[in-house]
Structure 1
Amino acid sequence: MKVSPNPNKEYISLALGDPTHYGNFKIHENCVDAVITQLKSYKANGYVPSVGVESARIALAKKFSTEEAPLTSEDIVLASGASDALSLAISVLCNEGQNILLPRPGFSLYQTLSESKGIECRYYNLLPDRNWEIDLDHLSSLIDEKTACLLMNNPSNPCGSNFTRQHLESILSLCEIYKLPVICDEIYEDMVYGGNIFYPIADLTKTVPILKISGLAKRYLIPGWRVGWIFIYDYNNILNEVRAGLASLANLILGANSLISSALPDMITNTPQSFYDETNKSLEENAKLSADVLGKIPGLHVIVPQGAMYMMVGINIEEFKDIKNDIEFSEKLVQEESVLCLPGKSFHYPNYVRIVTTAPAEKLNEAYQRIKEFCARHHV
């Protein structure tokens, strides 16, 4: 969008998926202390193994291993953030000329990474009237002999949805039928609220190979520290070549951030549960505020979020007299009210906008009041 905000109104961005942007979501002091300890040790300044610091991989295996889905350090590859982990996973599972199944609406980076590697993107629909569950019939219709894998995101950016156990099991059943491995982006794992429960997909299968993507960025509120990971779940030795391929691809960046990787065991072991609980409580309060206020504005309809830090808001285009689509809605909103939301087209889903709900309550209230006034001016 090439528009300028209204110079007479304070600019409020509800577009950036960075929980640190407004300063109200803060990292726990234990994480800061862990980094300071490593800095003062002078032992975390050099190159590290390309697949990641061994102590970090051991700590991650210990923390995230479950009876249903056990892990060892050999099942873990560290990367430069979850985005780099996604790049590695897509590269290792997909060859040029194959296709990958991506969610619609979905995070735009999936397309960018895939197309940069000569992989065709095929988009399966998510269903807003079912809390953004996957349309499994539509997904099935996209699969052919060149389909390399399914990429899914749970909890979801941009939808703020969280799949039920039953729906995850239905997805796995389909993957079993078509022999599809899964890349599951779970960077927002456990960031759910409203009585919802997050189920790691790897806990629900012993047959479908899973590459789980996650990292420190969102749960620890440190997206700039750039440490993510891949967990390899492969109980039938289907991914032996993939393991070797990931180790080779990891050499492209010569390992993740040495300082943060070395601090990681202390961070994930000693950060208290109260930190995660307070973060989720704040996210839930902001989500409720957002849904309550925006849901009452004529011309808009909301899908109440269940997790992460996003909400998709539908625009009833036929109710506006001089707005033709989500791009025009977003541009005029910036020009008139200095409020920025990302248009749904950014996620392959027109006539919606995505709202990031991490701003302080007073900022959200101010932005939503302006959106209300904007909609009133343009409503039929």
Structure 2
Amino acid sequence: MSHPLKTRERLTEVRYEIRGELARRARELEAQGRTLIKLNIGNPGAFGFRVPEHLQRAIADRIHETDPYTHQQGLPAAREALAAHYRRRGAPNPTPERIFIGNGVSELIDLSLRALLNPGDEVLVPSPDYPLWTAATILNDGCPVHYNCAAENGYLPDPDEIERLVTPRTRAIVVINPNNPTGAVYPRPLLERIVAIAAKHKLLLMSDEIYDEVLYDGAVFQPLAPLAGDVPCLSFGGLSKVYRACGWRIGWALLSGDPLAVGDFHHAMDLLGALRLCANVPGQFAIEAALSGAATIHDLTGPGGRLHEARLAVIDSVAASRHLTMVAPMGALYGYPQVVGDAAIGFDDQAFALETLESEGVLIVPGTSFNMRDRDHFRVTLLPPPDQLREVFARIERVLDRHADAASTQSARVA
């Protein structure tokens, strides 16, 4: 008689609904012949966006050089280009030796937490967060401690709350800026407060900046490393979002701060990078071209650009809704509406997402998937064409109308 293989117990604590049960149900419906609008993943290529041609040429022209492994931290020329990029941004001492290239930022998040954490160590993570941060902390035997980023504060955190959460087991503070899922862009004074907390308590700053140039309506991105100075700081970026090259799996991290403070951690990152041999080599040849070429993302996020107009379609649709409110996203690729009024009575975001999928053919992500307690949010991506997003919100409104009518009827019966 066969016995089921046991799996790691801590996996039961991990949620990643972006590609979870709802996405599996969507595949079942598609297999039945249903046509769906899938807004669960920030995947530009799936919505017709293309990687800039000069990046494609950079790989094609060097493809004959991509057969061997490279250094575990990445191609020397790519790290030189990244060091120069961070130098222009004012990062302290951004040498190529302090650059790590990985198979997407996701791999580097996992490697860096594995290099940092001992069992029971704590990491301060925003709520809502991109759920990989919480999951990777758990799977590397750490304890995620969430600090609140409330809608009434524009989804910006309260530095006083962050400091109250620091304990002797705290090792790092995670910052996601521009934020996924909320679209918040963090102002310099707030980041300076967070740096001061890290300096006071000798913590590592971990700044997820993958959406650094995806900005709207004059929003300004402030990189964290120049503010951190000697405070140990990991700054994460990559080709996936700004350059629409998700499938190339190219991410990077700069380790800045006092060399004496970060030396052991650098060696740990280098060891873990060596154990996985190296990152995808072909994609690394596009890094220098990306950083030195035209900033094509601005044509998409500026007035008249597709992302700009898609964002306006979401903002206008939410404003016209009887049941929704939203803080306008100032960066990244998402809207994060909140359900209010009668529709919010007894509202369950997971049940709502399933109903929206099955009755209206729209796949969204419930807000609790981003490690927040309240069950009244959901996330959509801004990547579809504006007219399709307007249609999406018309369908969502129908579902919320039913919820509001049911709540009103129930209230009348109780009265």
Report TM bin, short chain: over 0.9
Match of 1:176 in 2: 199
Alignment of 1:106-185 (within 5 A): 106-185=129-208
Q: Provide Cα deviations, 1:93-140, integer angstroms capped at 9, x if missing partner.
A: 222221111110001111221111111111111121222111223222
| CA drift at 1:60 | 1.0
Match of 1:276 in 2: 297
| CA drift at 1:33 | 0.9
| CA drift at 1:85 | 1.1
| CA drift at 1:26 | 1.6
- The 3-state SS of whatever aligns with 1:295 is helix
Q: Distance in 2 between matches of 1:307 and 1:31?
A: 23
The answer to whether the Cα contact below 8 Å between 1:297 and 1:375 also exists between their aligned partners in 2 is no
Whether 1:190 aligns to 2:188 is no
Q: Distance in 2 between matches of 1:13 and 1:119?
A: 33
- The 3-state SS of whatever aligns with 2:255 is strand
| CA drift at 1:295 | 2.4
Of 263, 273, 283, which residue of structure 1 is paired with 2:286? Answer: 263
Structure 2: which amino acid aligns with 1:28? P
Q: Distance in 1 between matches of 2:199 and 2:155?
A: 22
Match of 2:376 in 1: 351
Match of 2:87 in 1: 65
Relative distance call for 1:150 and 1:335 in structure 2 (3 A) is same
The answer to whether the Cα contact below 8 Å between 2:343 and 2:401 also exists between their aligned partners in 1 is no
Relative distance call for 1:67 and 1:17 in structure 2 (3 A) is closer
Match of 2:74 in 1: 52
- The 3-state SS of whatever aligns with 2:285 is helix
| CA drift at 1:176 | 2.0
- The 3-state SS of whatever aligns with 1:320 is helix
| CA drift at 1:8 | 9.1
Instruction: Select between 214-223 and 65-74 the one with higher mean Cα deviation.
Output: 65-74
Q: Distance in 2 between matches of 1:22 and 1:337?
A: 20
- The 3-state SS of whatever aligns with 1:20 is helix
Q: Provide Cα deviations, 1:313-365, integer angstroms capped at 9, x if missing partner.
A: 1112x512886311121111112111111001101222100111111122212
Structure 2: which amino acid aligns with 1:324? F
The answer to whether the Cα contact below 8 Å between 1:315 and 1:326 also exists between their aligned partners in 2 is no
Whether 1:370 aligns to 2:395 is yes
Structure 1: which amino acid aligns with 2:269? L
The answer to whether the Cα contact below 8 Å between 1:88 and 1:249 also exists between their aligned partners in 2 is yes
Structure 2: which amino acid aligns with 1:333? T
Q: Distance in 2 between matches of 1:296 and 1:51?
A: 50
Structure 2: which amino acid aligns with 1:314? Q
Match of 1:338 in 2: 361
Q: Distance in 1 between matches of 2:268 and 2:336?
A: 37
Q: Distance in 1 between matches of 2:140 and 2:108?
A: 15
| CA drift at 1:9 | 6.8
Alignment of 1:267-346 (within 5 A): 267-269=290-292, 271-273=293-295, 275-281=296-302, 282-316=306-340, 319-320=342-343, 324-346=347-369
Q: Distance in 1 between matches of 2:158 and 2:44?
A: 30
Q: Distance in 1 between matches of 2:347 and 2:77?
A: 54
Of 57, 64, 74, which residue of structure 2 is paired with 1:33? Answer: 57
Relative distance call for 1:122 and 1:38 in structure 2 (3 A) is same
Structure 1: which amino acid aligns with 2:382? T
| Count of paired positions | 374
- The 3-state SS of whatever aligns with 1:49 is coil
The answer to whether the Cα contact below 8 Å between 1:94 and 1:149 also exists between their aligned partners in 2 is no
Match of 2:222 in 1: 199
Normalising by structure 1, what TM-score? 0.93
Structure 2: which amino acid aligns with 1:283? L
Match of 1:82 in 2: 105
- The 3-state SS of whatever aligns with 1:134 is coil
Whether 1:245 aligns to 2:236 is no
Structure 1: which amino acid aligns with 2:225? A
Question: Matched residues, percent identical?
Answer: 26
Q: Provide Cα deviations, 1:27-64, integer angstroms capped at 9, x if missing partner.
A: 1111111111012xx22211111111101100111122
Greater length-normalized contact order (CA 8 Å, ≥ 6 residues apart): 1
Instruction: Select between 231-240 and 4-13 the one with higher mean Cα deviation.
Output: 4-13
Whether 1:94 aligns to 2:136 is no
Q: Provide Cα deviations, 1:159-215, integer angstroms capped at 9, x if missing partner.
A: 111001111111112222222110111111121111110000112132321111111
- The 3-state SS of whatever aligns with 2:336 is strand
| CA drift at 1:236 | 5.4
Structure 2: which amino acid aligns with 1:368? F
RMSD value, Cα: 1.9
Q: Distance in 1 between matches of 2:345 and 2:151?
A: 25
Normalising by structure 2, what TM-score? 0.86
Segments of 5+ residues of structure 2 without an aligned counterpart are 1-20, 406-415
- The 3-state SS of whatever aligns with 1:100 is strand
Q: Distance in 2 between matches of 1:67 and 1:253?
A: 30
Runs of 4+ with >4 A deviation:
1-9
